[in-house]
Homo-oligomer: A and B are copies of this chain.
Amino acid sequence: MLEAAAALDFHPNMIARGLVTARTHVLGVIVHDVSDPYFGEIVRGLEDAAHMRDHRVFVCSSDRDPDRELAYVRALIGHRVDAIVFAGGAIEDRSYRTQLKRLLEGFRSLGGIVATLAPHAMRTPSVTIDNVAGARDMTRHLLDLGHRRIALVAGPEHLRTSHLRLRGYQEALADAGVTPDPDLVEPGGFTTEGGAKATVALLARTPDLTAIFAANDVMAFGVLHELADEGLHIPHDVSVAGFDDISMARFALPPLTTVRVPMGELGQQGAHLVVDALAGRRVRSQSLPTEIVVRASTRRIGR
């Protein structure tokens, strides 16, 4: 009978099944933007592992807009997804947090699972990396290279991930006894455009900088671009470092020194975590290691 079904391309109706089993085999992932390489790679990993374990995934790009994010969460609950995965860092916004919390309580009472792939205050199982350590390591690397005037192109202000990477940078400077200079820190919004703009500001304000650490690779591309535009040579005049190691990073000119974040694995482990939890297995949060990858965009200071 099963062969007959297969031969006739009979497709059992997951919708009907979902109604009775209360399991839809669908996961929702909320990202800032799927077309951002960082999130694209996470979604790809998540999708792969989910597909392997017979689950489908809804992509939801929120642009970090609280209302849009909430609207997506409501829609996902309406579709009775089995789990919601928050891929990006928490948006620091009081009203958003309260509303989200309420929604998620309802979702959980429906049997839903929530997980995060980035720093959140919520007590949900998560797969993350240590943002503070990553930023500290890279800053230390720059320090070891002899740099003292190290600028940071930071992430968006209201984002937890930004705070953590900023803290890592500050900690490394403090450890090395370098006086922190607020003028050396400029937010770049985690966009290439923003990275370029921040570079303009930094160059004007602190022309004595010798290195620029961008809190993500996408911004580092903007830094590289702007510096080249100014006729500055990298790494001769200025060293540049990024964070994430998106696949384009090694093809930047010059190839970008960066903190490798295993985005694909973050997504995969995230999928496994929620599917395991749905199967009733007890799951635990984990932290994946980061690693400095030194390429040609950074160099020892000085002649």
Q: A96 on the interface (CB 8 Å rule)?
A: no
Indicate which residue in B19, B222, B252, B255 contacts A15 across the interface (CB closer than 8 Å).
Answer: B19
A98 beta carbon closer than 8 Å to chain B: no
Within 8 A of B (CB), among A65-92: 71-72, 74-80
Interface string of A244-257 (1 = CB under 8 A from B): 00011001110100
Complex CA distance for A281 and B102, rounded to whole angstroms: 39
Of the candidate stretches A41-49, A146-154, A174-182, A272-280, the one touching chain B is: A41-49
CB neighbours (8 Å) of A48 from chain B are 61
Known: A37-B37, A56-B75, A228-B253. A13 touches B192 (CB 8 A): no
Q: Mark A5-24, 1 if CB is under 8 A from B, else 0.
A: 00001011111101100001
Q: Bits for A84-128, please: 1 = Cβ < 8 Å to B, else 0.
A: 000000000000000000110010001000000000000000000
Of B54, B61, B248, the contact of A47 (CB 8 Å cutoff): B61
Q: Is the CB of B79 within 8 A of A56?
A: yes
List A27-41 residues whose CB lies under 8 Å from chain B.
33-37, 40-41
In whole Å, how far is A60's beta carbon from the nearest beta carbon of chain B? 7
CB A34 to nearest CB in B, in angstroms, measures 5
Interface of A is mostly: helix
Taking the nearest CB of chain B, how far is it from the CB of A168, in angstroms?
A: 25
Least distance between A247 CB and chain B CB atoms (Å): 7
Q: With a CB–CB cut-off of 8 A, which chain B residues contact A14?
A: 78-80
Asked if A271 CB lies within 8 Å of chain B CBs, one says no
- Chain B's closest residue to A36 (CB) is B40
Min distance, Cβ A3 to any Cβ of chain B, angstroms: 16
- Residue count of chain A within 8 Å CB distance of chain B: 57
Are the C-beta atoms of B19 and A16 separated by less than 8 Å?
yes
Please, how many angstroms separate the alpha-carbon atoms of A154 and B107 in the complex?
48
Output the least CB separation between A78 and chain B (Å). Answer: 5
CB distance from A217 to the nearest CB of B (A): 10
The answer for the CA separation of A287 and B54 in the assembled complex, in Å, is 36
Query: A26 on the interface (CB 8 Å rule)?
Result: yes
Per the bound structure, the CA–CA distance linking A225 and B249 in Å amounts to 11
Does A59 belong to the interface (CB within 8 Å)? yes
Q: List 24 A-B contacts (CB under 8 A).
A: A9-B103, A11-B78, A12-B78, A13-B78, A14-B79, A15-B15, A15-B19, A15-B80, A25-B79, A34-B34, A35-B40, A35-B41, A35-B44, A36-B40, A40-B40, A43-B59, A51-B72, A51-B75, A54-B75, A56-B58, A57-B58, A59-B59, A196-B251, A224-B253
The list of the 9 closest CB pairs from A to B, nearest first, reads: A35-B40, A253-B253, A35-B44, A9-B106, A40-B40, A11-B77, A35-B41, A225-B251, A11-B78
